[in-house]
Amino acid sequence: MADRTEAVGAPSANGELVFEEPWQGRVLSMAVCLSDCGAFAWDDFRARLIGAVDARPDEPYYVQFLAALEETLLQTGLIEQADIADRVQTLAQAPHEH
Amino acid sequence: MDGIHDLGGKQGFGKIIREPQEPAFHERWEASVYTAMTAIVRRGWLGNIDRFRHAIERIEPSAYLTHSYYGRWLAGLETLLEEGGHLTCEDLDRLVRQKGGFDEDQALVRAARPSLYFNVSSPSESGGLGARREVSRTPHFALGERVRTSAHGHDGHTRLPGYVRDKIGEVVALHGAWVYPDSNAHGGGEQPCHLYTIAFEGSELWGSGGEPGTEVCVDLFEPYLESCEG
Amino acid sequence: MTDQLDTQQVRLRAQALESLLVERELLKESDIDEVIERFERRVGPMNGARVVARAWTDSEFKHRLLEDATETIREFDFQGGQIEKLVVVENTDSDHNLVVCTLCSCYPWALLGLPPRWYKDPAYRSRAVREPRRVLSEMGLDLPESRRIRVWDSSAEIRYMVLPRRPDGAEEASLEELTGLVTRDAMIGVAEL
């Protein structure tokens, strides 16, 4: 796992990954789990991440990361763009637990 | 070198200030220096750790004391990058002026994540070669032997702290042979030599001013030592 | 994704993606939790704390740890901040150990994470070898005169960690609970538990 997070340059301090917010850790974990279960190849994802970092240089790392993850999943056909949009809307309208 | 970095036993620095709930990095630029350092190490621009330590030792003394830890790292990195011909201080100054800060620069985003941009295979998990070496020479000193440390340092990098010079101590551990920093920091090759832990009584180091019932153990290379026996 | 999302939107989008993937059985929520757990426990003082708690509860392990710490901690598979040679020194009723680096700021990163600022500051680096008893007292640790103090100045590539004395009244504690009791400062030697 460490070699994969290293290969995509995930922010770390002293070998420890740094997450500013919990969702960032979940996004990274999703990507790791999905590549573990063979949903996509880590190198494909890495290539898209390079593209995402170049395309949006001013965005924080995990925004780039999430964009790359979405793009990779759309490309595999596992998820449709409309699915994500719908789900975002549903969640936004859902009552919050806190 | 007898620089300001050799702090053991120096007086007048006052109380130790602890910070509750201290964060890993106090400001974003500190993390930038940390990541830049990692990137530079991977590119092999640093030379070796001894060279880097010596670059930090050469920081102007008042700056050494007023810079924070990562400030000292940054100064050491700049020195090595410039001496290695990778970057000039003017280049760095220009970058900083252009961007009003160095972590916003795209070039440094790349530098901070080299493995993302350059398909470099990262060093193995064991961290590469390390500093431990096998030599056929047997250690000159034995466990329990009393040794005297060298009275003088030299102009270059050394790991013989000033406060243990010309002092008598006892060998309490042998560690085999290791890369000799005094040589390796200056392009003189690794020249591996035996390393020992030497224990010094507080009174030997500080005279009657030493606190009773205290001792200091220091890891010292064979060339720093001579036998007190025979 | 549209450009310049605010944090709330990004968080939402990450949640949406996760819930979709879980719903379609591409992922299990527990898988993600497990990966996070691994990330969060990878490096930092908690690594040293696990070693200490194990040594308190397993005398055979403790014996090996004090004999050859480098080899013994391999079984934990700690990652990041490699230590070529580690020496663990034990605090007892008669001896107290304290770690410093007077020449720079050498520190057992893989076990204790990044060093605190005071460890890198001139005050600690200059005074710890000259007046360790006073330094400890100033930092809130008054040791009896009879307790011998041994200061370890990390002047080469060997790294030192202190095995603190097990606190009284923790005989019933589980390994997990014991791990939670161990502090970074105790493993540097500037505190007791």
Q: How far is B113 from chain A (nearest CA, A)?
A: 5
pTM equals 0.72
Q: Do C1 and A66 touch (CB under 8 A)?
A: yes
For residue B116, list chain A residues with Cβ-Cβ distance below 8 A. 7-9, 46, 49-50, 53
Average pLDDT over residues A15-29: 73
- The C residues from 134 to 193 touching A (CB cutoff 8 Å) are none
On chain B, the residues whose CB falls within 8 A of the CB of A6 are 115, 122
Lowest pLDDT segment from B122-131, C161-170, C174-183:
B122-131
- pLDDT tens for A50-98 read 888 888 877 888 888 999 999 999 998 888 889 888 888 888 876 654 4
Q: What are the pLDDT digits (tens) for C86-105?
A: 999 999 999 999 999 999 98
Dihedral of the CA atoms C115, C161, B201, C101 (nearest 10)?
-20
For helices A61-76 and C7-23, the axis angle rounded to 10 degrees is 30
- The predicted pLDDT at position B203 comes to 96
Which DSSP category does A4 fall into? H
- Chain B residues with CB under 8 Å of C157 CB are 130-132, 178
**88-117 in C: which are within 8 Å (CB) of B?**
102-105, 113-114, 116-117
The stretches in chain B having pLDDT less than 70 are 21, 23-45, 86-129, 230
pLDDT in tens, C115-158: 888 999 999 999 999 999 999 999 999 999 999 999 999 999 99
Count the neighbouring beta carbons within 10 Å of the beta carbon of residue C123. 18
Quick one: which H or E segment has residue C97?
strand C95-100
> pLDDT band at residue C2, thresholds of 50, 70 and 90?
very low
ipTM of the complex: 0.84
- Give the neighbours of chain C: at least 3 Cβ pairs within 8 Å: A, B
Residue C189 has pLDDT above 90, yes or no: yes
Q: Which residue of A has its CA nearest to C41?
A: A16
Label residues B92-123 b or e (16+ Cβ within 10 Å = b).
beebeeeeeebbebeebbbbbbbbbbeeeeee
The answer for residues whose C-beta is within 8 angstroms of residue C103's C-beta and 6 or more apart is: B5, B6, B7, B8, B53, B159, B161, C153, C155
- Res. A7: pLDDT tops 70: no
The secondary structure of chain A in percent helix, strand, coil, rounded to multiples of 5, reads 65, 5, 30
Residues of chain C with C-beta less than 8 angstroms from the C-beta of A23:
10-11, 14-15
Model pLDDT for residues C41-71, shown as the tens digit of each residue: 545 677 899 999 999 999 999 999 999 999 9
Phi first, then psi, for residue C97 (nearest 5°) are -115, 150
Where residue A13 falls among pLDDT bands split at 50, 70, 90?
low
